[in-house]
Structure formats: structure tokens, C-alpha cells
Structure 1
């Protein structure tokens, strides 16, 4: 490996360490309480080093936001072989919720925190939300295929897609913030052994409702 390649690998390794440290601190201490100085201390570098790679804290949050979407798209991409569009739609919902369960730190950055979107607005005002739009486009295509198969008659494709996303996002957000458990504990009909079982049961109820739209 030449000098140029070694320098590039060192640069990428350092950027990865910065992002991992930032993600850890965002989750542990909260976004507002996390500073560039704290991130630098976590990896034992000077704040100046971090500024070589990222403009500010929102730049770091947006980089993590992009990383999370890459991971989510990879998982959703595994559904390309599912021929039945309604089965694919259900699987997309389950993968989305499982992503939130397995990666609550990424999920919060991607769908709850406003800071990555603020970065996009300030630094790339000509763009809307490329990461989210790519995932939503896949959902739209699946809903459109469902409609071609007789599902959701008379309903607008975008509205069905937005409704589907809103439901799984709501369940996922309630789950990762522990609100779901507190409410579910008071509902005897949801007296199941763990939160993930509660999440699955709630999702299945939604699936049964939309399945009737055929």
C-alpha cells in the first residue's frame, strides 16, 4: 500500500472514530449537551482535528444521519425478491420497526432529531431530503404495485404510503422512547411478555385493517 492509500485509510478511520464517538455521546448525554470538545476528548484528539473533517456538530449529526439511511436501505433492499407486493409492504414495515429496535441511536438521528434537517436546510437549501426520499420512493413503488393487484381501491398512492409510514414511525418512536411500554402496561389486552411482542401485535392489527382494503 502506497503513502497516498495509507493517508486515505487513516483519514477514513479517523472520521469513523469521530462519528462513533459522537453517536455514543449524543445517546448518552443528549445532542445539546454534546460539544465538539467532548467528542474530541472521547477519541483523545484536539477539537482542531475534528474541524479538519466536519464544519460543526450539525455536520457530524448529518453524517451519522446518512450512515443510518445507508444501513436501512441495505436492509430494505433484501426485499427486492419478494414478488407479492402486499407481502413486501408488510415486510418493509417489520424491517423498519426492527431497525428502530436494533438501532435506536440511528433512528433518533434519522427521524426524530431536527438538527440533521437543519444542517440540510442551511448548507444544501436546493435539496429536499434525499435520504428520506429514496426510502419513501421505494415505499411508493410497493404501494403502487399493491394497487395494481387490487389493494387500496380508489385511494391515492402517496396517501397510502404516508399513512403506512406514519403508523410504523409512530409505533417505532413510541417504542424507543419507552412511551409504548408505559401505555401498554395499562392495557390488559396487551399483557405480553416484552415490548417487541407488543410492537409486533400492534403492527399486525394495522396490517389486518389495511388488508381489508382489497
Structure 2
């Protein structure tokens, strides 16, 4: 009997996970294609051919669903960091992190907008994507700690260093996403090369 109960419990948990994945997949697609503001719970429900009530069994509102989608996006950025920022030299690794961040934003503009540019909802539990968000930020701060411990940077405060590197990278991506770099009359390839060079030059400027 206990095996039967456990089997039913496992099946229900699997079905719950599959349904959440279905909802998140549809929500992400619509957020990216139609925009967050224009997407409703009913739109998402229609896309997966379920009632809105079904979605409310898993998410209290669209804002909570956005936060979970953002968590998946942070996971994608973390995967990109792990794949592309692999140098054993911490300063070179810091450059790789900056370039990876910029390329991620340029390659995924709508997703980047969801992650970092639209106003964050204020009525949700921020721990929903805390793990992925924290791990992504820790990837940067761990690299900075290593640079500082080896006396490789002019900066001595990890948080200040993280804020400066992140702010510069984010600022460049955001300017491009909002078409503010058009004034420089560069092709997309030139934009990418210029932003990558800017990352290198900035980190060189704070390197001892």
C-alpha cells in the first residue's frame, strides 16, 4: 500500500512539474513575442489550451510567473558564464565574464529586457529566483575576490568592483537595446567589437 501511495505521490509531483514547465514555456514565448505588458494570464491559458483557473493553481498572478521566468533566464546567463569564462587567470576571466554578459544581452534582447530593464513587480516573493540570481552574481564576485586576493586590481572592495563592472556592462547593453548607439553609426558587428573592447579597456584601467 505504501508503495502505491508513494507512486501516486510521485506521479502527481511529476505532473505538477510538467504543468509548470508548460506554463512557463508558453509565458516566456509570449513575454518575448508580445511583451510582458500585453500578455495576460488568459492569453497564456489559451495558448496551452487550459483555463485561467489552472494557471492560478500554480501562480497567484502574472507577476509571480514573470519572476519564475526571470529565474530561468538567470540560469541561462549562469550557464553562459560557466561555458565562456574559463580562464585560470582571474583578470582574464573577469574580461571573459564582461564580454559574455554583453554578448548575452546583444544575442537575447527581449530576454534581457525581461531580466534587467522592465520595472520589477513589487508584490512577489523575491526568493523565487534567488538561487539562480545569487549564483550568477556570485560568479562575478568570486572572480573579483580572487583578483583582489592576488593583488591584481586597484579595487579593494568586492561589492564596489562588482557594481562597477556590472554597471558598465549593463549600461552598454541597455544603450544598444534602446537604439542609443545608432548615433555612432556602427554596424552590429562593429557595435559588438566596440563593446568587447570597452570591457577590456575598462578592466585594464583597474588592473595593477
- Name the TM-score, length of structure 2 as normaliser: 0.81
**Equivalent pairs, count:** 201
Q: CA deviation at 1:129?
A: 5.4
Residue 100 of structure 1 is matched in structure 2 by 105
- Write the deviation string for residues 167-214 of structure 1: whole angstroms up to 9, x where unpaired: 11112222333333x2232xxxxx4xx324313322313422431331
- Write the deviation string for residues 54-74 of structure 1: whole angstroms up to 9, x where unpaired: 111011101101111112122
Alignment of 1:57-206 (within 5 A): 57-78=62-83, 81-116=86-121, 118-120=122-124, 123=125, 131-153=132-154, 155-180=156-181, 182-185=182-185, 191=186, 194-206=187-199
Residue 3 of structure 2 is matched in structure 1 by none
SS at match of 2:115: helix
Residues 98 and 199, structure 2, Cα contact 8 Å, conserved in 1 = no
Instruction: Say which is worse superposed, 12-21 or 162-171, in terms of deviation.
Output: 12-21
Structure 2 vs 1, CA of residues 79 and 7 (structure 1 numbering), >3 Å: closer, same or farther? same
Residue 43 of structure 1 is matched in structure 2 by 48
- Write the deviation string for residues 62-108 of structure 1: whole angstroms up to 9, x where unpaired: 11011111121222223574210011001111211222233333322
**Can you give the 5+ residue segments of structure 1 that lack an aligned partner in the other structure?**
186-190
SS at match of 2:59: coil
Q: CA deviation at 1:137?
A: 2.4
Residue 188 of structure 1 is matched in structure 2 by none
CA distance in structure 1 between the partners assigned to 2:45 and 2:39 by the alignment:
11
* Alignment of 1:210 onto 2:203: yes
Residues 140 and 157, structure 1, Cα contact 8 Å, conserved in 2 = yes
- Name the TM-score, length of structure 1 as normaliser: 0.79
CA distance in structure 2 between the partners assigned to 1:22 and 1:71 by the alignment:
16
Residue 53 of structure 1 is matched in structure 2 by 58
Greater relative CO (CA pairs within 8 A, separation 6+): 2
CA distance in structure 2 between the partners assigned to 1:138 and 1:4 by the alignment:
36
CA distance in structure 2 between the partners assigned to 1:81 and 1:100 by the alignment:
19
